[in-house]
Structure 1
Amino acid sequence: MSDIIGITMGDPAGVGPEISVKALREMSPADRDRTMIYGNRATLEAAKTAVGADVDLEGRVVDLHIDGAPLPWGQLSPIAGDAAFRFIEKAVRDAEAGKIGCIVTAPINKEALNAAGHHYDGHTGMLRSLTGAQAAYMLLASERLKVIHVSTHVSLNEAIQRATTKRVLATIRAGHAHLQRIGIAKPRIAVAGINPHCGENGLFGTEDDARIAPAVAAARAEGIDAHGPISADTVFHRAYCGAFDLVVAQYHDQGHIPIKLVAFDTAVNVSVELPIDRTSVDHGTAFDIAGKGIANHNNLHEAIAYARKLVAGRKRV
């Protein structure tokens, strides 16, 4: 398996090109030699000018054509949405072929993506489709808090319906396996309840007793150190303070709000259960500051570091 990290540039009109160039500039020569950017050379050269980065891109870019590149910064465009899709598609195929060890994705714009005819709810759904994976889970990782989600980009009503015993158990298993891979031998996993106070014995709903608790019991029967359901208003604080290595969140905002509160600039988005490895920044295209050279690349730096950890973990297996 290759140890090369493939950065997909993201939406060409957003901050992805700038943060990609900034990240490349700050790498050691050895790490730079183990990095490729999947994007558009003309756009990356424009990003170099925007950020004042003197970094040689020769041999470090898988250059895919974009009509009219570089496109205007900060403008939503189906051309840009299609380009962002093609960067990811090419990186996926190279990862499947073993040419790169992990994909690191810079931000895409979902509206531009769909305007270009690529109808996905985001990176995770797209990657699942491109790889033919049966399932993929979004895990947000920071130094002191890690969260994996039973569901993400669906309505709250649909999220409640998706929180079945089978799906919650599958999410627990996926999180457990991932943490073992990155070096945590016996992960302590907390499972958040879906209702206030986990339903208060049916007073505020029966889903926690009927669906969540059986999933936790089944996980424990398999030898997984799972606990719950635990009321969501306390479980994230407990995990942040060291009681648990991972929290299973039942829906998007339940997991995203706490981790963005404590690790807004450093949390890494990891796709779990795909046949390839992928990490990502946990922020958007920031059209309002694109092309100004001021985008913060720390989140991308963290995503690249996590990607290298995954590559190393795969070699140990």
Structure 2
Amino acid sequence: MTTVREIIAIPMGDAAGIGPEITVKSLAKEELYNMCKPLVVGDAKIIRKAIEVTGVNLQVSTVASPAEGAYEFGTIDVLDLTNIDMDSFEPGEVAAQNGKAAFEYIKRSVELAMAGEVKALATTPMNKESLKAANVPYIGHTEMLEDLSQSPDPLTMFQVNGMRIFFLTRHVSVAKAITQMTKERVHDYLIRCDKALQRLGVENRKLAVAGLNPHAGEGGLFGNEEIEEIKPGVELAVASGIDAYGPVPADSVFFQALNGKYDAVLSLYHDQGHIAAKMTDFHRTISITNGLPFLRTSVDHGTAFDIAWKNIASEVSMYECIKLAAEYAPKFTRESL
């Protein structure tokens, strides 16, 4: 069976961070070129410097559009925005020019994806302080992608070793998260999770919802949230045609999903799902942003200024990020959620 190689845009991220290094080290692995056509959207001068620092045996070819890329192992195709001044560039430092450039890489990549010139984005880290220094009006990738693509309320999914995790609530306190665990929200999110998996090409989707309290409340002995909100939300989803189960005790549901019992788990709050994923394999935990008109995968770590440009950073997360985009891209459907 012939593998469909889709074009994957790789916005370079903050030039002073580890993004350029882990990108070139990932693209030094020939197997990625058997799976996809990687296109770096960034600054060719920085990519060449990253090649020099890491010692990988690669060349750079600058292109004006995705269609111009050769996508052959040994040469990195770079859509060169030429927006880094090397005379003032300082590795591992916050700088406005790097924040501005990082946003421009994302903006250009989104434009290419919206135009159908690339099938997916595999994003590298940006630095919030550099974005702020550049007066970029976004705190991070998700907010940029939401606004640039006019896609309200994107849905985050983690994948690690085949286990998929969605999040009912994200960056709020645990106390506030509990107030958001309504049956209506559980119902809505299960429908969205099912649709997201469908767009990724997952068939016969079986979804579990994690419990909140010990033993999922043990019939009300340890709390009533499962009885009053979570279980009724699951029942509403089932009535809507979703193959959903739960609440399943959180101390077992992720293990069960990892072993294939469920296609995905809906985590009720941020750390519940993050801990499960990152304890499974920190470096191979990849984030997928669903609800966009295009596929987006991302590493789940930062710019690591303390080790940047020292050839220390591991490329495992970036490699897995590009690989996962390559696996899903041929099956991904562009319909809006």
Give the TM-score of the pair, scaled to structure 1. 0.90
Instruction: Decide whether aligned partners of structure 1 residues 258 and 32 sit closer, same or farther in structure 2, where only a CA change above 3 A counts.
Output: closer
- The residue aligned with 1:76 is 94
Q: 1:215 aligns with which of 220, 233, 236?
A: 233
- The residue aligned with 2:25 is 22
Deviation, structure 1 residue 254:
0.8
- The residue aligned with 2:145 is 127
Alignment of 1:185-264 (within 5 A): 185-264=203-282
Provide the C-alpha distance between the structure 1 equivalents of 2:328 and 2:334, rounded to a whole number of angstroms.
10
Provide the C-alpha distance between the structure 2 equivalents of 1:130 and 1:118, rounded to a whole number of angstroms.
13
- The amino acid that maps onto 2:29 is E
Cα contact 2:32–2:323 (8 A) shared by 1: no
Q: What secondary structure, in the 3-state scheme, does the structure 2 residue paired with 1:243 have?
A: coil
- The residue aligned with 1:50 is 53
Deviation, structure 1 residue 28:
5.2
Deviates more, 1:233-242 or 1:248-257: 233-242
Q: 1:113 aligns with which of 128, 131, 134?
A: 131
Deviation, structure 1 residue 16:
0.4
- The amino acid that maps onto 1:45 is R
Instruction: Decide whether aligned partners of structure 1 residues 201 and 296 sit closer, same or farther in structure 2, where only a CA change above 3 A counts.
Output: same
Instruction: Decide whether aligned partners of structure 1 residues 153 and 315 sit closer, same or farther in structure 2, where only a CA change above 3 A counts.
Output: closer
- Kindly report the root-mean-square deviation, in angstroms, between the aligned alpha carbons of the 2 structures: 2.5
Cα contact 1:135–1:274 (8 A) shared by 2: no
Q: 2:287 aligns with which of 259, 269, 276?
A: 269
Cα contact 2:293–2:334 (8 A) shared by 1: no
- The amino acid that maps onto 2:164 is K
Deviation, structure 1 residue 90:
1.0
- Where structure 2 has 5 or more consecutive residues not aligned to the other structure, the ranges are 63-76
Give the TM-score of the pair, scaled to structure 2. 0.85
Provide the C-alpha distance between the structure 1 equivalents of 2:138 and 2:179, rounded to a whole number of angstroms.
21
Deviates more, 1:67-76 or 1:94-103: 67-76
Deviation, structure 1 residue 183:
4.2
Deviates more, 1:195-204 or 1:97-106: 195-204
Deviation, structure 1 residue 82:
2.1
- The residue aligned with 1:290 is 308
Cα contact 2:120–2:329 (8 A) shared by 1: yes
Deviation, structure 1 residue 36:
0.9
Q: 1:178 aligns with which of 178, 196, 203?
A: 196
1:66 aligns with 2:69: no
1:168 aligns with 2:168: no
